[in-house]
Amino acid sequence: MLKNVAALLLDEVHPFELGVLCEVFGLDRSDDGLPVYDFAVVSAEGPALRTHAGFTISTPHGPERLEEADLIAVPAGSRFGDREYPEEILEALRRAVARGARVMSVCSGAYLLGAAGLLDGRRCTTHWRHTEELARRHPKAVVEPDVLYVDDGPVITSAGTAAGIDAALHLVRQAHGPAVANAVARRMVVPPHRDGGQAQYIARPLPRTRCDTVGGTLAWMEGHLDQELTIEQLAAHAHMSPRTFARRFQQETGTTPYRWLLRQRVLLAQQLLESSDETVDTIAGRTGFGTAAALRHQFVRSLGTTPQAYRRTFRGPSALTGAA
């Protein structure tokens, strides 16, 4: 359960990334019936810290506050890659993981997790400008350079700025379900879910681009996920030739129509598994996969787990009764 969150700050912290953590986990949204976290900003290096923007931050909380946290989140900072870290902090992070807590980094905060040895043997990421250096400094880490965020067991790492929002909402979604995560995202006026492994993925709600010629067709595709859609059908809906449509689609979404449809169908299956008691066969039909076997195949490929295991994780064992 996610109840107690600590944002761990080092000198020259970046205010935006700290603000992401404060916004997601530190704001009281109980008026909307949303969870309230016991949130604290923790200093790793004394009561007052400099930001890279030239002002200081003070907090009464020191490293001892980390011992009770369910989640320790490290925002980005300047020169994180070429500095020494307090051994007390590195040990506190190791103890946290050992007792079952989770740790999260935003952007260059991954360097601190690497220094604690928490990235060894794990998939991870950081801002694209830092991935090569992170891999060089921590050769046992499996650095993925072009993704938004990576969730590998108790360690979550994210790329720069807005990717920290995606990773934080991912944790809220895991802890409290999609309805809560969507409500938090709505309050923040951000997309409720961007898949971590798809750096170019355009998530719901669908944003308009400066040259948006396929936006209407994207919305139409979302409403017809249960049907078999061909490139010819999609091109006709957009009043283009198939070749022009495929080119425009790639330009404006960063992916192909097939991959976009596949990801949307998996997302819809996730939502139905979390929020309904429909059987996997029924969900397969509603999401355009046709059969439970096809749904299971794509689910495992995309998420590394089966639909039944996913439902059990998000809704508990009782949700499997009659839903296999």
**Which residues have a Cβ under 8 Å from the Cβ of 183 and sit 6 or more positions away?**
29, 32, 34
Taking 80 as the threshold, does the pLDDT of residue 65 lie above it? yes
Say yes or no to pLDDT of 194 above 70.
no
pLDDT band at 196 (very low <50, low <70, confident <90, very high): low
- Of 65-69, 159-163, 314-318, the one with minimum mean pLDDT is 314-318
CB-based contact 157:138 (threshold 8 Å): no
Q: Considering Cα of 103, then 109, then 113, then 114, what sign does the dihedral take?
A: positive
Across the strands, what pairs with 106?
158
- Over residues 36-61, the mean pLDDT reads 94
Class level of CATH domain 4-188? alpha beta
Of 139-143, 164-168, 193-197, the least confident: 193-197
Say what the pLDDT of residue 215 is: 80
More confident: 116 or 321: 116
Q: What is the pLDDT averaged over residues 208-218?
A: 67
Domain locations along the chain: 4-188, 204-324
Decide if pLDDT at 278 tops 80: yes
How does pLDDT run across 72-83, given as a tens digit for each residue?
A: 999 999 988 888
Quick one: what percent of the chain has pLDDT higher than 70?
Answer: 90
The residue type found at 143 is: V
Please tell me the predicted confidence (pLDDT) of residue 200. Answer: 26
Per the CB < 8 A criterion, the answer to whether 14 and 74 are in contact is no
**Model confidence band, residue 192 (pLDDT cutoffs 50, 70, 90):** low
211 vs 138 pLDDT, higher one: 138
170 Cβ contact list (under 8 Å, min separation 6)? 149, 151, 156, 181, 193, 196
Domain at 204-324: CATH code: 1.10.10.60
Cβ pair 262, 248 in contact under 8 A: no
Does the annotation mark 107 as catalytic? yes
The pLDDT of 125-151, averaged and rounded, is 91
Q: What is the pLDDT of residues 11-40, one digit of tens each?
A: 999 999 999 999 999 999 999 999 999 999
CA atoms of 214 and 133, how far apart (whole Å) = 38
* Residue 59, CA distances (Å) to 40, 56, 324 in order: 9, 10, 50
According to the model, what pLDDT value does residue 212 have? Answer: 62
On the question of pLDDT at 228 being above 70, the answer is: yes
Predicted structure pTM score: 0.65
Contact of 70 with 101, CB cutoff 8 Å: yes
CA atoms within 13 A on the CB side of 22: 9
Instruction: Pick the more confident residue, 239 or 320.
Output: 239
How does 266-302 read in b/e, with b if 16+ C-beta sit within 10 Å?
bbbbbbbbbeeeeebeebbbbbbbeebeebbebbeeb
pLDDT at position 193, please?
A: 62
Arithmetic mean of pLDDT, 35-62: 94
Mean pLDDT score of the chain, rounded to an integer? 88
| Model pLDDT, residue 207 | 40
Q: Which of 196-205, 223-232, 273-282 has the lowest mean pLDDT?
A: 196-205
